[in-house]
Chains A and B, each alone.
Chain A
Amino acid sequence: MLRYIFKRLFIMVITIWIIVTLTFILMVSVPGSPFNNPDQNMNETVRENLEKQYNLDQPYAIRYILYLKSVVTLDFGPSIKKPNDTVNDLLGRGFPISFELGMVTILVAVISGIILGVMAALWHNGLIDYMAMTIAVLGISIPNFVLAVLLIQTLAVNGIFPTARWESPVHMVLPVIALATGPMAIIARLTRSTMLEVLTQDYIKMARAKGLSPWKIVIKHALKNALMPVVTIMGTLLASILTGTFVIEKIFAIPGMGKYFVESINQRDYPVIMGTTVFYSAFLIIMLFLVDLAYGILDPRIQIHKKGGDQK
């Protein structure tokens, strides 16, 4: 187990290093300097001083080392387009909000997805099954930004819910629904199919023969095993929720990290793009690592220390 953790940690560090290097290479390969904008009509000396301030006059190797240092010390430097803010300021302001939005979304998606999936499996081929699976297919098919706009049009324009901003729990309702529907649908489908499989197994028959109540069988015996695949896809779902926050925050004007990220892309604010990308990637990679660990702990049958383990 310990060996496995170290191996995974090693791969994780390499992945983050690749992301960091990739962002660096991509950013230096952009032609021109961010201050070389013909519209601004900038004085030559002013431009050189500005470039000096952002170390843009140094050779690539030195800039790369400085950049690695800034990543290790988690200090991404000042923003170019918002001179009063450092990248860390933006992250510090935006991350708690995005994190809150993401966590609420995951909770809603997991809980409602499991309930929907279990109900569909218990009443297999019944009305509830068809309804749940229709919801699930719709949820997978409708992109989150389309859903968000539809929700605004139907529920916010006439004043039932606020259209924008992030102030009270009521403000959370629409963004969370828009973000959670897709992951919920995936969880529901997965839970349904594994649940159907588990319910035909011998130990469930045994529990039934013992005279356990149907609810006890479902909750205590079947659900536990049916939920393992859900744990496996948590990593992928986290990634999709995270990228989903970019558009959702843009649409609902939520002052989270995604909004700064999209803004920085549109303004070509390279320090902010680099900082947020590295931060997002590192966050996601660490989460994936934790999900994998949780999986190994939850399912005793998984021998993760086995050599050349083929995860499929």
Chain B
Amino acid sequence: MKPTRVPDEWFKWKEKNLEIAETVSRPSLSYWQDAWRRLVNNKLAMTGLVFLILLAGMALFGPKLTPYSVNIQDLPNQYQPPSTKHWFGTDNLGRDVFTRTWYGARISLFVGLMAALIDFFVGVIYGGIAGYKGGRTDEVMMRIIEILYGLPYLLVVILLLVVLGPSLLTIIIALSVTGWVGMARIVRGQVLQLKNEEFVLASQSFGATTWRIIRKNLLPNTMGPIIVQMTLTVPTAIFAEAFLSFIGLGIQSPYASWGVMADDALGAILSGHWWTLFFPAFFISFTMFAFNVLGDGLQDALDPKLRK
């Protein structure tokens, strides 16, 4: 049987529709605009972001809202329940829990942000060099990372603090000594993937220096995973600070930090003074929650593969 031909009259000449060709079906968005749009749609992540902004505001201005100072003791007024005079009550030494909570927020946010920033600089430089240089250099640098990665993080931090003595600065130093390893691994992995792309070759052929290529070509393309890693470093650091203060190695009483307040409150809860524990505990937990959901949200928003 002969193959039947499709008759010509079935086809219709379609005019080129210039109007439709020129319409833009969706607005052109840069990578960051698109990421922001997707982040805004993520309700949980936005809750976290709003909470963190409020918390930062209260950390700055909260202590000024009360007539009390952080460390002023007022023994006759110990264990006052929350009232209009003391919004969050008072603790075992009559100190105002509201004022101390926001001082604690300052410490926690400061430790978290500093740890994340130091991780960022050390990790990006180390990982960038290892990934870009490759070969021998990479081999040696990764061996060092492998060994550092095997060290138990909190144990090393505890050891360092025993020697350096507890203070805000030493906590940040101790947290940064091994904290950057995760960031360095992520940056190296990304750089390894990116360095063979053509735009890097183009830069190289123009004679750009290594540092310039890392800074201008490689880093901007790795920013997504780096930002996610930073948001997830912050809660780890906040937890570590609270944990260390709680076992007596962090910020020392009378200075307020959420860990110190929880430690001070340990004796008080059995006698029913719940507010001394509730407020620091609530804010540690909610801050960690906020950073975690924000990190998750950013991970989804910054991943170009998930673009809809």
Question: Residues of A with Cβ closer than 8 Å to B?
Answer: 11-12, 14-15, 18-19, 22-23, 26-27, 29-30, 137-138, 140-143, 145-146, 149-150, 152-153, 157, 163, 239, 242-243, 246-247, 250-251, 262, 265-266, 268, 273, 277, 280-281, 284-285, 288, 308, 310, 312
A247 to chain B, nearest CB (A): 6
Contact A251:B288 (CB < 8 A) given known A266-B248, A281-B151: no
Q: How far is the CB of A127 from chain B (nearest CB, A)?
A: 17
- Residue in B150, B248, B262 whose CB lies within 8 Å of A145: B262
Contact A310 B150 (CB under 8 A): no
Chain A binding surface, main DSSP class: helix
Known: A149-B281, A310-B192. 6 other contacts (CB 8 A): A26-B159, A137-B292, A141-B286, A163-B270, A308-B139, A312-B185
Contact with A149, one of B152, B239, B269 (Cβ below 8 angstroms): B269
* Main DSSP-derived SS at the B contact region: helix
In the complex, the answer to whether B163 meets A29 with C-beta atoms within 8 Å is yes
B218 CB–A CB distance under 8 Å: no
Partner of B262, one of A11, A12, A149, A268: A149
Compute how far the CA of A266 lies from the CA of B246 in the bound complex, rounded to whole angstroms. 12
Q: Is the CB of A265 within 8 A of B147?
A: no
Tell me if B171 counts as interface (CB < 8 A to partner A). Answer: no
Q: Which of A152, A242, A280, A284 contacts B269 (CB 8 A)?
A: A152
**CB pair B277 A153 closer than 8 Å:** yes
Separation of A141 and B295 alpha carbons in the complex (Å): 13
Knowing A149-B262, A281-B152, the reply to whether A312 touches B147 (Cβ < 8 A) is no
Which chain A residue has the least Cβ–Cβ distance from B272?
Answer: A157
**18 interchain pairs, CB-CB under 8 A:** A12-B150, A14-B147, A18-B151, A29-B163, A137-B289, A138-B285, A141-B288, A143-B285, A146-B281, A149-B266, A152-B269, A153-B269, A153-B274, A163-B270, A265-B158, A277-B158, A280-B155, A281-B155
Q: Which residue of A lies closest to B296 (CB)?
A: A137
Task: Say how far B123's CB is from chain A's closest CB, in angstroms.
Answer: 15
CA of A265 to CA of B245 in the docked complex: distance in angstroms? 13
Complex interface: chain B residues within 8 A of A137 (CB): 289, 292-293
In the complex, chain A residues whose CB is within 8 Å of the CB of B139: 308
What are the residues of chain B within 8 A of A157 when measuring CB–CB?
Answer: 269-270, 272
- Chain A, residue nearest B277 (CB): A149
For B286, the chain A residues whose CB sits under 8 A away are 141
In the bound complex, CA of A268 to CA of B161 (Å):
11
Closest residue of chain B to A276, judged by CB? B155
Q: Which residue of A lies closest to B280 (CB)?
A: A146
